[in-house]
Every structure is written in structure tokens, then in C-alpha cells.
Amino acid sequence: MAEYRHGVDTGQLIIAVVVLVAVAALALLLLTRRRRDAHEPPQEQREHHQRPRAAVIVNPTKFSDVEEVHARVTRVCHQHGWADPLWIETTADDPGTGQARRALEEGATIVCPLGGDGTVRAVSAALIDTDTPMGLLPGGTGNLLARNLGVPIDSIEDALTVALTGHDDRIDVGTINVVTPGQTQDTEHDYYFLVMAGMGFDASVMADAPEKLKAQFGWPAYVVAGMKHLNGKRFDVEVSIDGGPPQHRQARTVVVGNVGRLQGGVELLPDADPDDGELDVVLLSPKSIIGWASVGAHIATRQRRGHARVEHHRVHTMTLRLSHTQEVQLDGDPIGPGLSLRFAVKPSCLKVRVA
């Protein structure tokens, strides 16, 4: 009888041990899962981070209510299954290049400047020779690159839809080296441009257009500034194209373009194509207001025949040596005076999202 009771006690002990082991294993499993869950974001958050993400580099001076624009952009991103946008504002010290570099570091799927052509130019400087595309969102006076590429310019929502759902094209970028005379020595600066670079009359107009007038009326502000400079004098310039010998010209303005269309559909450079590996150049040399009227009529009617005061070229490189300093503008932004300018094209180096 004693042996029987001992056998029963042994069996109960074995069962107890099995139960304890099972409980311990279950407790260990739960503890491990809790620790893992503590370090892992919820599934919704993980899915959010796995979704594509747009970086929006916004010039806050272009909008009266930046938060409202931010909300609209976020809503469109969600409608297309994208994560919350990375929203970065430009500053007076950095108009977009540093912000675009940050967007690349944070793995943005696409980088979208939201401002004028100056903001687009600054952002593009960080995207050249990368595989990250740039989306164009309208926020400026001209939005000339978007106009020339067929991207919507009247609706941020429509333009953002193109940025999130369109396809990528590669376009050329213009480069310019500007020599500025100094009191002790000349200095050189290198820049990019995507739309047009100019010196002389057009750059002076850009520099003198009042910011308040531009904000209130848009491009007509340039007409007001232009009236002040119509009677200006021509300047002497030595033009060397693709390494050829210099040719003397007298000009009122020289415009070098990657694209050719201005506001209102005006074709200043009718043969310009942003992906042809060339830059298009026009030299305008009217002597008077009557001369400007003739030049304007020639451009407005898109005539291809020659004109005594309108000279067109297509170039890979070009050097301009001016008789005295002239104002210089890049994509509508004045950068100050220049005395010698060297232009070149950087083919197919920038990926842009289009419809």
C-alpha cells in the first residue's frame, strides 16, 4: 500500500513539473512578445513609414496662410496613398538647396519645390546627377519651368497629383560662370539655371520690379519696371560660340535659355528644347522705343525670318565679354553685375516629374 501511494505522488509531481514548464514557457513567450512590441511601432505606423513620401520645400513668403497650404498638400498625399509629406521651409540664408539635401538624406521619394522659379533653381542644385525626381508645385509669379513642361500652374492640388502619379523625364541644366570685378581683384561664381539667364535690359527689369507690386499683380509688375529702361544704351560685347573666334556686337540684352516660352505663350526662343543638349541664345539690339516695338512685334508674331535687331544662336558653350558690367539674372532672380560670363549645358542631368 505504501508503494502505491508513493507511485501516485510521483505521477502528480511529474504532472506538476510539466504544468510549471508550460506556464514558464508561456510566460517567457509573452514577455518576449511584449518586449518586441515595445520596440516595434504599431502596424498602421509601420505601413505609414513604408509608403512613399514627398518632400515639399516651401517658400513661406509666397503664401499668406502656410498652414492651410500644408493641410491641402497633406490631404492630396493621403488621397494617393502617400505618407505625410516632409515639409521644410526655405530661409533668407538658404532658398532651398540645403533643405533639398536634407530631404535626400531622409529618403524622400520625390522633392517638390513650392515657390517661384528661384526656389525651383535652388532645390534643383541638390538633385542634379541624382535619381530622385523633382516635382513642380506653383507658387511664384512666372512658374516658367512648369509652363514649358506642361505641368499645371493654376492649382497646387493638380500639380501635386502630377508629381505623385506622373512619369519622369530628364532635362538639361544650364551652367554659368560669372566674373564680377572687385576693387582689388575679380571674383568668379558658378551657378545653375533651368529656364533662362540674361544680362542687360531684362536683368535690370528683374532687379527693379517692386516685390509688393509683383505679389499683388504678378508679371505686369515687370512691365512697369521695363518702362524705366526702354531708353537705355546698348553695350559692347564680344561673343564666342563653341570655342570659335570672338565676334563684336552691340546689344541691349542677351538671353540664354534652356526653355523658350514666357508668360502669355510668348516664344522668346522658339527652338528651345529642355532635353536637346543645347542652349538657345537671343541677342536683342534695338536703338530706341520704336526699335523695341519692332523687336516685340517680331517675337510676338513668331516670325522665323531674320531681323536686324534680333539674332538667334544654338550653342553648347558661349563666352560673353562685356565692355562694362551689366546686371545678370538667373531664372528671374537678379544676382548682381557681371563683366565676363561663360555658359555651358549639362545634358539630361535632372529628373523631373511630368504628366
Specify the pairing of strand 310-315 against strand 110-115: unpaired
Closest by alpha carbon to 313, among 213, 224, 240? 240
Is 184 in contact with 134 (CB distance < 8 Å)? no
User: How would you write the pLDDT of the chain (355 residues) with one tens digit per residue?
Assistant: 444 444 445 556 566 655 666 666 666 666 666 666 655 555 555 555 689 999 999 999 999 999 999 999 999 999 999 999 999 999 999 999 999 999 999 999 999 999 999 999 999 999 999 999 999 999 988 899 999 999 999 999 999 999 999 999 999 999 999 999 876 778 999 999 999 999 998 898 887 765 554 555 455 555 555 555 566 789 999 999 999 999 999 999 999 999 999 988 889 999 999 999 999 999 999 877 777 777 777 777 666 555 668 999 999 999 999 999 999 999 989 999 999 999 999 999 999 999 9
First to last CA, the chain: 93
Specify the pLDDT at position 278. Answer: 98
Find the helix packing angle between 117-127 and 97-105, rounded to 10°: 40
pTM of the model: 0.82
∠ CA 24-25-30, nearest 5°, is 95
Specify the pLDDT at position 4. Answer: 44
* Range list of H helices, the chain: 2-39, 43-50, 66-79, 97-105, 117-127, 144-149, 156-165, 201-208, 211-217, 220-227, 289-300
Is 144 in contact with 262 (CB distance < 8 Å)? yes
Q: Which domains does the chain have, with CATH numbers?
A: 46-165 (3.40.50.10330), 174-348 (2.60.200.40)
Specify the pLDDT at position 291. Answer: 75
Cell output for 279: 542652349
